[in-house]
Amino acid sequence: MSTEKQDASVQSDQQQGITNDDFGGIFDLTEEDISVDDGYGGERNPDFYGPSLKNKSVKEGYYKSKIRFVPNVNDKNLQIVPKFIYYLPDPDNAERSFYVDCPSNFHGKGSRGNILSTAFFHLKDSESKVIRDMAKDFFSRKRYYWSLIQVIIDTFEEEEEGKIKIFRFGKQVYDMLEREKTDDPKVGKKGIIPHDPFNGKEFVLWIEKKQINENRQIVSYEKSYFDDKLTSISFDKGETRLESNAENKKLIFNFLKKSSPDLSQCMPKEWDRQTEKKVIESVKSIIGDTGVFDVVYKKAYGDSAMYSPPVKEEEKEIAPAESTDSVKPEASKEQPEEKKESLEEKVAEPKAEAKTSTEGGEKKKDGEFDDLDNMNFDEIDK
């Protein structure tokens, strides 16, 4: 929209006594509003958009759709949710994986207060490549972002078209968002706000597999791109566009207010006792070697893994930890004296069939949920 039209629109609104504050400020978004503070499974949730190469309709090896980033009318200051997460095999169901938020989301960069980061730093420098890969694949945190989008065209999931959904994406897509916001005087490019309801851009989402080496294949978003043309939100796949005026502002605001899922559900969540116990069991099953696991556990908690998982101070009154007295000395001496394999010997054997994940309602082989932006596993706490 031209500057003249924008000025005319503003003047019209003023004449009617309407300000952008009446709409939660979503028509006044700035670069800061959609910036991210750099300090920081189960069944498919219907609030989330889940494009996937696992979709049965995908025949040509790629998933292509068109979406549009839209503002969060419920909280102007929450347009993108960034956080670090871990993906882990579910100790209660070998066919599933689950994810947990990294405690560093709460305690800041450099936090070592969890058994997952402890396992990573304990195993990442092993002489065994298999053990080093274990550390990277399971115990390295990965960064993702969540934002509201409107699904414009999706021939694989047509029932999603027109709906407002929560979209999870990685660094590749996030970097594309940042580039759109940035001015480039050398080529006369002026930055825009992709989430803007009237002067944003639609985004072509292109997902395909990319071979990294003979043993690793990842999901890549690198062919995705923003349209060149500035457009407003459309309710009919782009057939008609809404002019910026008071009536249409009210129309868009009410539509987003009624149709938008709650983005705050993506905010990082601290581990409760049940989650922490599940994480510990998952780490134990991944490592396999009891001796090595015991070392990792003691580094994280200061106790032997022969005892119960710890309980946080504030939980002791309502959920007291089992006393270590309940572990009889005789029981610890009655262990079979059979020769135990070392961790190196165990992981050197042929790998078992890959576990799968149903995060997002689909099954994924280990490693296949990694986006291209997650390949730099050494980014941990730089």
Residues 315, 270 contacting (CB under 8 angstroms): no
pLDDT at residue number 378:
34
Does residue 121 surpass a pLDDT of 90?
Answer: yes
The predicted-structure confidence for 318-356, as pLDDT tens digits, reads as follows 434 343 333 344 444 455 555 555 555 544 444 444 444
pLDDT at residue number 27:
53
Residues 69, 165 contacting (CB under 8 angstroms): no
| Runs of H (alpha helix) within the chain | 3-15, 104-107, 115-123, 129-139, 171-181, 246-259, 273-287, 290-301, 329-333, 343-347
Residue with tokens 């500035």: 230
Q: Are strands 62-69 and 142-153 parallel, antiparallel or unpaired?
A: antiparallel
Rounded CA separation 48/46 (Å): 5
CA pseudo-torsion sign 55, 369, 105, 179 = negative
CA distances from 147 to 68, 70, 210, 226 (A): 10, 8, 25, 16
pLDDT at residue number 22:
58
pLDDT at residue number 323:
36
Residues 65, 156 contacting (CB under 8 angstroms): yes
Rounded CA separation 280/116 (Å): 8
Rounded CA separation 309/321 (Å): 8
Rounded CA separation 253/251 (Å): 6
Does residue 379 surpass a pLDDT of 50?
Answer: no
pLDDT at residue number 245:
92
pLDDT at residue number 375:
33
Q: Over range 148-157, report the average pLDDT.
A: 94
The predicted-structure confidence for 270-322, as pLDDT tens digits, reads as follows 999 999 999 999 999 999 888 899 999 999 988 655 555 554 445 444 434 34
More confident residue, 262 or 14: 262
Closest CA to 377 of 184, 134, 214, 146: 134
Does residue 179 surpass a pLDDT of 80?
Answer: yes
Does residue 267 surpass a pLDDT of 90?
Answer: yes
Residues 176, 205 contacting (CB under 8 angstroms): no
Report percent pLDDT > 90 for the chain: 46
Does residue 12 surpass a pLDDT of 70?
Answer: no
Does residue 147 surpass a pLDDT of 80?
Answer: yes
Report percent pLDDT > 70 for the chain: 66
Residues 358, 42 contacting (CB under 8 angstroms): yes
Q: Out of 14-28, 133-147, 337-351, 366-380, which region has the weakest mean confidence (pLDDT)? A: 366-380
Closest CA to 222 of 167, 153, 174: 174
Rounded CA separation 371/351 (Å): 23
The predicted-structure confidence for 50-98, as pLDDT tens digits, reads as follows 898 888 888 888 999 999 999 999 999 999 999 999 999 999 888 888 9
pLDDT at residue number 338:
52
Q: What DSSP line would sit under 90-128, residue for residue?
A: -TT-TT-EEEEE-THHHH-TT---SHHHHHHHHHTT-S-
More confident residue, 17 or 317: 17
Structural domains for the chain = 3-85+142-266 (3.90.198.10)
pLDDT at residue number 332:
43
Q: Over range 172-180, report the average pLDDT.
A: 95
Closest CA to 129 of 370, 348, 367: 348
Q: Over range 219-244, report the average pLDDT.
A: 91
Q: Which two tokens stand for residue 278?
A: 């599940």
